[in-house]
């Protein structure tokens, strides 16, 4: 075949092949353009893995109507004047190739308006040829719709991976730019479904939580901004507890550009020396900032690789920053709760009070014989709760305890009621029902009907420690109360008993119902400041109650917050 000069369209397609390898390359170039245009919100929509449709909308500066054709001309850019500028690049694009390349291998529709123009412009291109161009009303910003990608390059189309792979690549690209630009809102919709959203809060953590998921982010520590020889490194990296077999979760960014660089990845893994086994890798997001003339981004067609003027300095800076982050976490005074439950307790103790000057009104010291609820065979009974350690008391109402599985907030009243009821099941061992004599006895005057109701149940009441004698017409003498009620108001006890006996139809359950009510009444009240021993006493007994989670009348006794939940709550609010 004689030598021939290639036609313009073949040249364009070859050139396009360099930059536009796959649908994700289109997404990458268009996202970069949107970012260069100063967008604060970017929406990426695709169908069919980007082959049938890819639309990027931004609210950036827009393209002037007069320049729209130029924008799609190869080597036309607003970002570079002379080669000198290549040394000071602040923008993501600079070659003026992307739009021309994308247009050469697809159907493109662009709608754009610059903020200060009254009308926008619409242009439609097929295979790089302009088929339509007209003024159009449009919001400020740019919408670029790419359809039928590679329609005229069947070879390229054939080599595309499965739709799901292309989808993943597009999602990854968007996610990475969201990390690099946490101040920009990103939304990704794939086949009509939202698959990613970055809120644009400016906080890298907010992006990482959705990008990696909480389970990974939970294990991350911040790499604090560390400047070393003009090189600033920051980001997030996982603690040595987290590791995986691939290094694909080590992401590197240079001046807001995601790049692949094996030496930086190596620097990160080196920082874990002695912390991670060979072949195990962390997840990390490493942001590197350095003067633009220290890095050449113009060495790779898709700008995915860069060349550093001083690679060793970058390596050292990254390794140092990551190492510091890991070490700081390991010795920190505020490590993650799952690692050091005692730290949580120490922090809580400062806030928790059992001082007499508590602000709860009216604080009462509890003197009733709490310990007497204990049972001789206590340690023989099976555990129903893990061993809990009392940390303190909140609001003179809730016992704060700590266990292997996290934090427990225990309602002292409900828990104590459960403990009393449990002990009452075995009166031969426990003293909760043992009669506590009233000296002198207290007289109780009732109306006819009430007197009769109580009189019918004197035996039953005595069996649970309430000892009443007929003292006169409609009058009882109260001679003893069960131990657990020794400091309660006798009138209130009789009123409660009366209510139970007159409302309970079922004779068989009457005693049990009465007992439940009296245990609830006898339990330490909320608003009572408890000494640590008493709190520990309640907890120790609760740990072996057959049903420790509810009071006799079914009120919850405790709230459990796992270490996971706690750290999740904190990271969510970060």
Residue numbers at the binding site for ligand ADP (CB under 6 A): 29, 33-34, 36-37, 58, 60-63, 71, 77-79, 93-100, 142
Cα first-last separation, the chain: 66
CB contact at 8 A, 460 and 472: no
**Smallest gap from residue 100 Cβ to ligand ADP (A):** 6
**Smallest gap from residue 27 Cβ to ligand ADP (A):** 13
**Smallest gap from residue 254 Cβ to Mg ion (A):** 17
Q: Choose the one of ligand ADP, Mg ion, none that binds residue 142, judging by a C-beta under 5 to 8 angstroms depending on kind.
A: ligand ADP
Q: Which is nearer to ligand ADP, 93 or 482 (CB)?
A: 93
| Rounded CA Rg of the chain | 37
Q: Choose the one of ligand ADP, Mg ion, none that binds residue 520, judging by a C-beta under 5 to 8 angstroms depending on kind.
A: none
Q: What are phi and psi of 535, to 5 degrees?
A: -65, -45
Q: Which is nearer to ligand ADP, 115 or 225 (CB)?
A: 115
CA 84 to chain CA centroid, nearest Å: 46
| Residue 509, C-beta contacts closer than 8 angstroms, at least 6 positions apart | none
Q: What are phi and psi of 43, to 5 degrees?
A: -115, 130
Binding stretches for Mg ion (CB under 5 A): 33, 93, 98
**Smallest gap from residue 557 Cβ to ligand ADP (A):** 60
Burial 2-38 (b: 16+ CB within 10 A, else e): eeeeeeeeeebbebbbebbbbbbbbbbbbbbbbbbbe
**Smallest gap from residue 4 Cβ to ligand ADP (A):** 28
Q: Choose the one of Mg ion, ligand ADP, none that binds residue 198, judging by a C-beta under 5 to 8 angstroms depending on kind.
A: none
Q: Which is nearer to ligand ADP, 60 or 127 (CB)?
A: 60
Q: Which residue is nearest to ligand ADP (CB)?
A: 93
**Smallest gap from residue 117 Cβ to ligand ADP (A):** 12
Q: Choose the one of ligand ADP, Mg ion, none that binds residue 197, judging by a C-beta under 5 to 8 angstroms depending on kind.
A: none
Q: Choose the one of ligand ADP, Mg ion, none that binds residue 417, judging by a C-beta under 5 to 8 angstroms depending on kind.
A: none
How distant, in Å, are the alpha carbons of 102, 107, 285, 330 from that of 151?
A: 11, 8, 36, 55
36 vs 91: CA distance, rounded Å: 6
CA-based max dimension of the chain: 132
Q: Which is nearer to ligand ADP, 295 or 497 (CB)?
A: 295
Q: Choose the one of ligand ADP, Mg ion, none that binds residue 37, judging by a C-beta under 5 to 8 angstroms depending on kind.
A: ligand ADP
Q: Which is nearer to Mg ion, 302 or 347 (CB)?
A: 302
Q: Choose the one of Mg ion, ligand ADP, none that binds residue 23, judging by a C-beta under 5 to 8 angstroms depending on kind.
A: none
**Smallest gap from residue 6 Cβ to ligand ADP (A):** 21
323 vs 452: CA distance, rounded Å: 81
- Mapped onto helix, strand or coil, the DSSP state of residue 506 is coil
């Amino acid at each position: 075949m004689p030598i021939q000069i290639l036609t313009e369209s073949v040249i364009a397609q070859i050139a396009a092949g360099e930059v536009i390898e796959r649908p994700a390359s289109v997404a990458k170039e268009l996202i970069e353009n949107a970012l260069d245009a100063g967008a604060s919100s970017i929406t990426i929509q695709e169908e069919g893995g980007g082959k049938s449709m890819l639309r990027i909308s931004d609210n950036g500066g827009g393209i002037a109507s007069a320049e729209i054709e130029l924008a799609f001309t190869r080597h036309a850019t607003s970002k570079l004047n002379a080669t000198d500028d290549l040394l000071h690049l602040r923008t993501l694009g600079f070659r003026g190739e992307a739009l021309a390349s994308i247009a050469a291998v697809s159907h493109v529709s662009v709608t754009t308006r610059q903020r200060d123009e009254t009308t926008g412009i619409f242009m439609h291109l097929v295979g790089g040829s302009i088929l339509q161009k007209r003024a159009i009303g449009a919001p400020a910003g740019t919408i670029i719709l790419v359809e039928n990608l590679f329609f005229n390059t069947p070879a390229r189309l054939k080599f595309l991976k499965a739709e799901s792979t292309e989808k993943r690549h597009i999602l990854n690209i968007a996610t990475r730019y969201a990390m690099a630009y946490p101040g920009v809102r990103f939304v990704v919709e794939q086949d009509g479904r939202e698959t990613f959203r970055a809120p644009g809060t400016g906080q890298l953590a907010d992006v990482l939580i959705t990008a990696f998921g909480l389970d990974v982010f939970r294990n991350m520590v911040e790499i604090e901004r560390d400047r070393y020889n003009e090189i600033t490194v920051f980001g997030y990296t996982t603690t040595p507890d987290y590791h995986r077999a691939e290094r694909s979760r080590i992401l590197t960014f240079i001046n807001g550009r995601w790049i692949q660089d094996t030496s930086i990845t190596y620097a990160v893994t080196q920082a874990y020396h002695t912390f991670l086994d060979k072949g195990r890798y962390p997840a990390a997001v490493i942001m590197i900032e350095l003067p633009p003339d220290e890095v050449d981004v113009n060495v790779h067609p898709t700008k995915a690789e860069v060349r550093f003027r001083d690679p060793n300095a970058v390596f050292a800076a990254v390794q140092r920053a990551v190492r510091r982050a890991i070490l700081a976490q390991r010795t920190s005074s505020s490590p993650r709760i799952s690692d050091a439950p005692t730290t949580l307790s120490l922090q809580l103790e400062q806030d928790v009070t059992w001082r007499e000057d508590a602000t709860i009104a009216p604080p009462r010291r509890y003197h009733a014989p709490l310990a007497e609820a204990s049972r001789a065979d206590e340690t023989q009974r099976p555990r129903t709760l893990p061993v809990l350690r009392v940390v303190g008391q909140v609001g003179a109402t809730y016992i704060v305890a700590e266990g292997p599985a996290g934090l427990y907030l225990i309602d002292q009243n409900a828990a104590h009621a459960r403990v009393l009821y449990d002990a009452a099941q075995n009166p031969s061992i426990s003293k909760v029902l043992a009669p506590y004599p009233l000296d002198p006895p207290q007289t109780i005057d009732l109306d006819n009907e009430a007197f009769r109701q109580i009189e019918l149940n004197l035996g039953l009441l005595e069996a649970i420690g309430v000892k009443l004698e007929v003292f006169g017409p409609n009058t009882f003498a109260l001679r003893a109360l069960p131990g657990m009620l020794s400091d309660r108001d006798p009138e209130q006890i009789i009123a409660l008993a009366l209510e139970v006996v007159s409302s309970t139809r079922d004779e068989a359950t009457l005693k049990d119902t009465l007992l439940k009510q009296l245990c609830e009444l006898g339990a330490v009240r909320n608003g009572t400041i408890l000494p640590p021993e008493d709190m520990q006493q309640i907890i120790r007994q609760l740990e072996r109650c057959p049903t420790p989670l509810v009071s006799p009348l079914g009120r919850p006794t405790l709230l459990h917050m796992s270490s996971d939940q706690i750290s999740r709550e904190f990271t969510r609010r970060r």
